[in-house]
């Protein structure tokens, strides 16, 4: 007999029960903090009550590999019906013929597309991180994992999007078979119509990463990539589309082979179980998007522009004033004069305004982002409008230009937020019994 396997130290009496209480207390503190804060992270949103309920349903405990009607497990009859409905709702919302709701996040959806469309060593067109691309496009991200090499598009700082003439030249010279469009700092649409003839000329497939703008696409407030020459759309389902943290693949009908490849990219390529609770929550979110999403998307863009204008009026360097600041849910503010992206994001958080530092086009060092990225999805979701955007700009001004203390601004932020703690644009919206930031039915014993 060799030495016994080492085991964890046995807990002292009560120690692990205390750990459980600690975790619950911390999550409560977190929730209270967000309840009192102004949440401006462009990639975050709130689930509807009915969608949230499904996340803790029994589906959370189950497996269902495969597709509806063709599973590797038993007990999936209702799951099959939920997934079939989810797929139908997705196709209806995006007016397309193909959907797969098994990727468990946007990054996983991107990996599924890379598996389906590319081989290691391929060249794939994309944007630079400094121009707003997601880490999926990076050598240290999904691209690197698949072993494909990025071919970078040129950037047009005047139009704040891909530079068409120079990118045409690059594409003609390098001829990548796949071209990815989509950003995480996504202010203006991609010039898909202008680049489409070049993609056709070189025989490249268009792939759109709509993680950030999926809800705006669904709501008719942004470009519609599947109807502007892209064959595949991958996305997260929890940014401007206010669903569960999950992923989705969508496509056009042109190529059954491609659909098969995307499906096997999703499973068994990059998932086993596909988080059935989130898939069910997504079905509810898609239904609510079909019912309420056009209004929500319009208000989201309206609020982003209102916040940009109000900050601009207070002397902040909001990018792209001549273009109306943004056509999405996101704005970018250069804050070098206020201390740089890192210091400003930290100061804002101390004052109850949650945002993130962000590299901006033209930044010299990736270690020193010159800006902050601000998004309107969550404040819009709880019912704020242009008047509240002006008040939020006032918080920025007080904190960063007028020397008010973080404590004072935090109190003003909590006061503003106190009127907006229920979720809108969904069924059972605003019911008095439902306070969004509470844990569901949990009172500690």
**Binding ligand PLP by CB under 6 A: which of 47, 112, 117, 211?**
211
Nearer to ligand PLP, 212 or 327 (CB): 212
- Shortest Å distance, C-beta 357 to ligand PLP: 16
Q: Which stretch binds ligand PLP (CB under 6 A): 33-41, 176-184, 373-381, 387-395?
A: 176-184
Please, which residues bridge with residue 126 across strands? 152
Kindly state whether residue 38 participates in binding ligand PLP, applying the rule CB under 6 A.
Answer: no
Total residues at interface with ligand PLP (CB under 6 A): 15
Instruction: Give the angle 285-290-296 at the CA atoms, nearest 5°.
Output: 80
Q: How far is the C-alpha of 148 from the C-alpha of 123, rounded, in Å?
A: 6
- Shortest Å distance, C-beta 257 to ligand PLP: 25
Nearer to ligand PLP, 90 or 211 (CB): 211
One symbol per residue from 390 to 429: x for binding ligand PLP (CB under 6 A), - otherwise; what is it?
----------------------------------------
Q: Please provide residue 65's backbone torsions phi and psi, each rounded to the nearest 5 degrees.
A: -75, 155
Q: Is residue 43 a contact partner of residue 419, using CB atoms and an 8 Å limit?
A: no
> Within the chain, how many helices (H) and strands (E) appear?
14, 17
Q: Is residue 78 a contact partner of residue 69, using CB atoms and an 8 Å limit?
A: no
Nearer to ligand PLP, 40 or 183 (CB): 183
Beta strands in 32-134 (DSSP E): 38-39, 66-67, 70-71, 98-100, 123-126
Q: Is residue 285 a contact partner of residue 243, using CB atoms and an 8 Å limit?
A: yes
One symbol per residue from 272 to 311: x for binding ligand PLP (CB under 6 A), - otherwise; what is it?
----------------------------------------
- Shortest Å distance, C-beta 278 to ligand PLP: 11
**Binding ligand PLP by CB under 6 A: which of 44, 131, 163, 209?**
209
Kindly state whether residue 134 participates in binding ligand PLP, applying the rule CB under 6 A.
Answer: yes
- Shortest Å distance, C-beta 222 to ligand PLP: 13
Q: Which stretch binds ligand PLP (CB under 6 A): 112-120, 155-163, 209-217, 428-436?
A: 209-217
DSSP-derived pairing of the beta strands 232-236 and 247-251: antiparallel
Q: Give the max Cα distance, the chain.
A: 77
**Binding ligand PLP by CB under 6 A: which of 182, 251, 375, 377?**
182
Q: What is the DSSP letter of 11?
A: P
- Shortest Å distance, C-beta 249 to ligand PLP: 12
- Shortest Å distance, C-beta 275 to ligand PLP: 12
Handedness of CA 226, 229, 230, 235 (dihedral sign): negative
Residue 79 structure tokens:
């799951």
Task: Name the strand (E) or helix (H) holding 206.
Answer: strand 205-209
Nearer to ligand PLP, 136 or 300 (CB): 136
- Shortest Å distance, C-beta 28 to ligand PLP: 25
Q: SS3 for 21?
A: helix
One symbol per residue from 215 to 244: x for binding ligand PLP (CB under 6 A), - otherwise; what is it?
---------------------x--------
Residue 228 structure tokens:
């502007």
Nearer to ligand PLP, 261 or 373 (CB): 373
Nearer to ligand PLP, 105 or 271 (CB): 105
DSSP collapsed to 3 states, 242-296: CCCCCEEEEECCCCHHHHHHHHHHHHHHHCCCCCHHHHHHHHHHHHHHHHHHHHH
Kindly state whether residue 184 participates in binding ligand PLP, applying the rule CB under 6 A.
Answer: yes
Kindly state whether residue 127 participates in binding ligand PLP, applying the rule CB under 6 A.
Answer: no
Q: What is the DSSP letter of 283?
A: H
Kindly state whether residue 136 participates in binding ligand PLP, applying the rule CB under 6 A.
Answer: yes
Q: How far is the C-alpha of 407 from the C-alpha of 399, rounded, in Å?
A: 10
- Shortest Å distance, C-beta 300 to ligand PLP: 16
One symbol per residue from 94 to 113: x for binding ligand PLP (CB under 6 A), - otherwise; what is it?
-----------xxx--x---
Q: What is the DSSP letter of 153?
A: P
Q: How far is the C-alpha of 258 from the C-alpha of 206, rounded, in Å?
A: 13
Helix ranges (DSSP H) in 188-228: 192-202, 214-218
Which residue has its beta carbon closest to ligand PLP? 106
- Shortest Å distance, C-beta 180 to ligand PLP: 9
Q: How far is the C-alpha of 234 from the C-alpha of 86, rounded, in Å?
A: 16
Q: Which positions touch ligand PLP (CB under 6 A)?
A: 43, 105-107, 110, 134, 136, 182-184, 209, 211-212, 236, 247
């Amino acid at each position: 007999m060799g030495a016994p396997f080492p085991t964890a130290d046995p807990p002292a009496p009560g120690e692990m029960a205390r750990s459980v209480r600690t975790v619950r207390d911390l999550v409560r503190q977190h929730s209270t903090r967000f309840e009192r804060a102004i949440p401006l992270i462009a990639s975050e949103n709130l689930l509807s009550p009915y969608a949230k309920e499904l996340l803790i349903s029994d589906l959370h405990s189950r497996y269902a590999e495969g597709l509806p009607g063709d599973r590797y497990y038993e007990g999936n009859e209702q799951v099959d019906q939920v997934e079939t409905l989810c797929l139908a709702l997705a196709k209806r919302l995006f007016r397309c013929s193909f959907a797969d709701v098994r990727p468990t996040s946007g990054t996983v959806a991107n990996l599924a597309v890379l598996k389906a469309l590319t081989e290691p060593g391929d060249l794939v067109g994309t944007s630079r991180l400094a121009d707003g691309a997601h880490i999926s496009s990076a050598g240290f991200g999904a691209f690197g994992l698949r072993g494909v090499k990025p071919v970078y598009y040129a950037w047009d700082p005047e139009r704040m999007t891909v530079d068409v003439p120079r990118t045409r030249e690059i594409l003609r010279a390098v001829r990548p078979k796949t071209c990815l469009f989509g950003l995480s700092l996504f202010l203006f649409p991609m010039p898909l119509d202008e680049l489409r003839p070049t993609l056709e000329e070189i025989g490249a497939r268009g792939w759109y990463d709509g993680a950030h703008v999926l809800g705006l696409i669904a709501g008719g407030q942004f470009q519609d990539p599947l109807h502007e020459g892209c064959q595949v759309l991958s996305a997260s389902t929890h940014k401007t589309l206010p669903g569960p943290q999950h992923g989705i693949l969508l496509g056009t009908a042109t190529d059954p082979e491609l659909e098969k490849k995307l499906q096997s990219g999703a499973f068994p390529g990059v998932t086993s179980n596909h988080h059935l609770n989130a898939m069910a929550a997504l079905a509810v979110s898609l239904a609510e998007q079909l019912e309420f999403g056009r209004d929500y998307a319009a208000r989201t863009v309206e609020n982003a522009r209102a916040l940009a204008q109000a900050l601009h009026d207070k002397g902040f360097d909001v990018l792209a004033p001549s273009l109306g600041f943004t056509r999405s849910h996101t704005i970018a503010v250069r804050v070098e004069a206020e201390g740089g992206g890192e210091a400003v994001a930290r100061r804002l958080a101390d004052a109850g305004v949650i945002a993130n530092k962000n590299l901006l086009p033209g930044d010299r060092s990736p270690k020193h982002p010159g800006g902050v990225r601000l998004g309107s999805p969550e404040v819009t979701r709880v019912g704020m409008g242009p008047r509240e955007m002006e008040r939020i700009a006032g918080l920025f001004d007080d904190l960063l230009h007028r020397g008010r203390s973080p404590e004072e601004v935090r109190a003003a932020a909590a006061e503003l937020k106190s009127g907006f703690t229920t979720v809108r644009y969904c069924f059972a919206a605003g019911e008095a019994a439902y306070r969004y930031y509470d844990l569901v039915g949990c009172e500690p014993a």
